[in-house]
Amino acid sequence: MNVEHWIGGERVPSAGRFEDRSPIDGSVLAHVARGGPEEAALAVRAATGAFPAWARTSREERARLLHAVADAIERRAGELAMLETTDNGALLRSHLRSVMPRVAHNFRFFADWLLELDHAAFDTRGHANHVSWDPAGVAVLITPWNAPLMLATWKIAPALAAGNTVVLKPAEWSPLTASLLGDITAEAGLPDGVFNVVQGHGTEVGPPLSGHPGVRRISFTGSVATARAIAAAAAPNLTPLSLELGGKSPLLVFADADLDLAADLAAEQYDNAGQVCLAAVRLLVEESVSAAFLERFLARAATLRQGDPRDAETDIGPQIHPRQFGKIDGFVRRAVAAGATPVLGGGPNPDLGGLYYQPTLLTGVKPGSEILTEEVFGPVLTLQTFAHEEEAVTMANSTDYGLAATVVTGSPSRARRVSGRLVAGTVWVNCFFVRDLRAPFGGARRSGVGREGGNWSFDFYCDVKNTVSAPWEK
Ligand code: NAD
């Protein structure tokens, strides 16, 4: 199968192509158009041309078209789910049950939110203030491979709802669903050029997109290193950036916690083979209950089945790519060489081979070592103990990241106290991964800049304008 760019409502090929392989068995899925400066410029031109008419389209009509996109996603949810699973190795079961419905919901939510967006109005000494949200222009969206369509549509839906036109650059390890989204938007009736997809390697097509002077917004989800490159490319134009980056989130288990719940929440961190930015990979457990917690956790983890992500019984699939697999193994090997003990897993799955890495838990990790401070982005958790609340908070806040944190406790007052002191964009108390699009989502410290969700998304994608009118003569 050949996959092309989607520019101006048409499939556009490139002279070069790259191979897209399935993490399930390494088979070649597609030969994908390999974009560069020329395709970046073409896509920005198409989006720029489509912008004035789309920006002038009434809110009601934009909302109707976004609902039509959601309808088309729902119609093709099975196809999208299988494509995504084959391409990035995440569970088909999750794609069918929760991910694709949420992808459609992303469009419905921002379509409805748009209709409710208030134009604030107030009076200053007889002068009328009128605050409006004007679309900014062309938005470049650059997204990762761990939840390709989910993360892309969090950005696409509010950007389009706000009246911007979009150029999406999906990750080169998972280009397929973005390509199908091109067809879906056309099927739903979106005008040509409103939504565009440029495929290619980040280092080749990323800089000409990020550095393009005609681009008014850049929203990026991915690693800190890439965020720095994008920020540098965007700096000459001062293009506003939204950055959703990595994490090294903690899960704090206090002695008063429901330990079964704590064990369940900890085992949930192996979801998507640990390739989740929010994953609470540092288990911090109060000393007095650490043995009891560990026993429950290991019993829970023993029930997880690793295997083909298309199989409904599978809980943990493969890692996305040999490079990511090698990176994870390197982290674990170095931690073990430095004295850590793998009490669970600790290497590739010998029964499955390929890109299947065993769910791993390390104890005895050295304070300050890389396994505690750097993002592994795989099924690797560490367990440390703390003596009291103060120490727990200090340990939780001891990395450069601040994406999320989970607190497991039976005490509401402790939950309030501790969550108030955690450096994190999201804190979950006795739960994990509950996400509402009305809520702000983003990270503190190096986990990101800005917030997505509700009005935070519209604030980013719009030029917010205040018009002040003197009283009219009677
Ligand atoms: P990555 O930074 O390597 O790549 C992300 C995207 O950036 C890809 O599309 C890639 O092609 C592109 N890119 C690479 N170099 C570029 C450049 N110089 N200019 C422009 N674009 C470029 O990240 P990844 O490996 O795909 O994803 C994993 C990372 O994403 C992890 O750090 C993870 O925590 C993070 N992530 C964060 C969130 C969040 O919401 N905070 C969600 C998911 C993933």
The domain limits of the chain are: 5-245+447-469, 250-429
Correct CATH for 250-429 of 3.40.1010.10, 3.40.50.300, 2.102.10.10, 3.40.309.10: 3.40.309.10
Look up residue 436 and give its two tokens. 């509402």
Query: pLDDT, tens digit, for every residue of 297-311?
Result: 999 999 999 999 999
- Please report the pLDDT score of residue 422 as a whole number: 98
244 is an active site residue: yes
| Ligand 1 contact, 222 CB (< 6 A) | yes
Distance between CA atoms of residues 133 and 117, nearest Å: 9
Look up residue 388 and give its two tokens. 């009291």
Query: What ipTM, to 2 d.p.?
Result: 0.97
| Ligand 1 contact, 247 CB (< 6 A) | yes
Which secondary structure element, helix H or strand E, spans residue 429, and what is its range?
strand 426-429
Mean pLDDT in consecutive groups of 10 residues from the start of the chain, 474 residues: 97 97 98 98 98 98 98 98 98 98 98 89 94 96 98 98 98 98 98 98 98 98 98 98 98 98 98 98 98 98 98 98 98 98 98 97 97 98 98 98 98 98 98 96 98 95 96 84
User: In terms of pTM, does the model score above 0.80?
Assistant: yes
Architecture of domain 5-245+447-469: 3-Layer(aba) Sandwich (3.40)
422-to-18, 44, 264, 382, 397 alpha-carbon distances in Å: 43, 40, 22, 19, 6
Give me the residue label for tokens 């991915």: 222
Q: Which amino acid is at 179?
A: S
The CA 187 to ligand 1 mean position distance, Å, reads 29
| Ligand 1 contact, 203 CB (< 6 A) | yes
Give bridge partners of residue 153 from the DSSP assignment: none
Which residue puts its alpha carbon closest to atom 15 of ligand 1? Answer: 202
| Ligand 1 contact, 452 CB (< 6 A) | no
- Please report the pLDDT score of residue 71 as a whole number: 98
- Please report the pLDDT score of residue 117 as a whole number: 87
Which secondary structure element, helix H or strand E, spans residue 62, and what is its range?
helix 59-75
Residue pair 281/249 in contact by the 8 Å Cβ criterion:
yes
Distance between CA atoms of residues 123 and 72, nearest Å: 44
The CA 70 to ligand 1 mean position distance, Å, reads 25
Which secondary structure element, helix H or strand E, spans residue 417, and what is its range?
helix 412-421
Query: pLDDT, tens digit, for every residue of 207-223?
Result: 999 999 999 999 999 99
Distance between CA atoms of residues 255 and 259, nearest Å: 8
The CA 220 to ligand 1 mean position distance, Å, reads 7
Q: What is the DSSP letter of 16?
A: -
> Among the atoms of ligand 1, which is closest to the Cα of residue 443?
41
Distance between CA atoms of residues 245 and 224, nearest Å: 6
184-to-80, 98, 174, 187, 191 alpha-carbon distances in Å: 11, 19, 17, 5, 12
Which residue puts its alpha carbon closest to atom 22 of ligand 1? Answer: 202
Dihedral angle of Cα 111, 115, 116, 121, to the nearest 10 degrees = 140
Give bridge partners of residue 365 from the DSSP assignment: none
| Ligand 1 contact, 242 CB (< 6 A) | no
Give me the residue label for tokens 């390494």: 26
> Among the atoms of ligand 1, which is closest to the Cα of residue 324?
25
| Ligand 1 contact, 207 CB (< 6 A) | yes
HSE-CB of 367 using CA atoms within 13 angstroms = 7
Phi then psi for 296, rounded to 5 degrees? -65, -40
| Ligand 1 contact, 274 CB (< 6 A) | no
Residue pair 375/248 in contact by the 8 Å Cβ criterion:
yes
- Please report the pLDDT score of residue 262 as a whole number: 98
Look up residue 281 and give its two tokens. 């990979």
DSSP, collapsed to helix, strand or coil, labels residue 221 as strand
| Ligand 1 contact, 376 CB (< 6 A) | no
The CA 48 to ligand 1 mean position distance, Å, reads 25
| Ligand 1 contact, 145 CB (< 6 A) | yes
Say how far residue 7 (Cα) sits from the centre of its chain: 24
Look up residue 292 and give its two tokens. 């009891």
Which residue puts its alpha carbon closest to atom 39 of ligand 1? Answer: 244
The CA 64 to ligand 1 mean position distance, Å, reads 31
Give one word for 326, left, alpha or beta, with left for phi > 0 and alpha for psi -120 to 50.
Answer: alpha
Picking from 280, 208, 224, the residue whose alpha carbon sits closest to that of residue 43 is: 208
Pocket residue to mutate for ligand 1, from 177, 226, 241, most atoms within 8 A of Cβ: 226
Which secondary structure element, helix H or strand E, spans residue 37, and what is its range?
helix 37-56
- Please report the pLDDT score of residue 449 as a whole number: 98
Give one word for 472, left, alpha or beta, with left for phi > 0 and alpha for psi -120 to 50.
Answer: beta
First to last CA, the chain: 69
Look up residue 438 and give its two tokens. 């009305």
The CA 49 to ligand 1 mean position distance, Å, reads 28
Look up residue 266 and give its two tokens. 């900890």
Which residue puts its alpha carbon closest to atom 11 of ligand 1? Answer: 202
Catalytic residue among 244, 286, 375, 452: 244
Look up residue 11 and give its two tokens. 């499939």
Cβ-count burial 382-402 (b if 16+ within 10 Å, e if not): bbbbbeebeebbebbbbbebb
Distance between CA atoms of residues 302 and 297, nearest Å: 9
| Ligand 1 contact, 210 CB (< 6 A) | yes
DSSP symbols for 227-288: HHHHHHHHGGGT--EEEE----EEEEE-TTS-HHHHHHHHHGGGGGGG--TT-EEEEEEEGG
- Please report the pLDDT score of residue 244 as a whole number: 98
The CA 148 to ligand 1 mean position distance, Å, reads 11
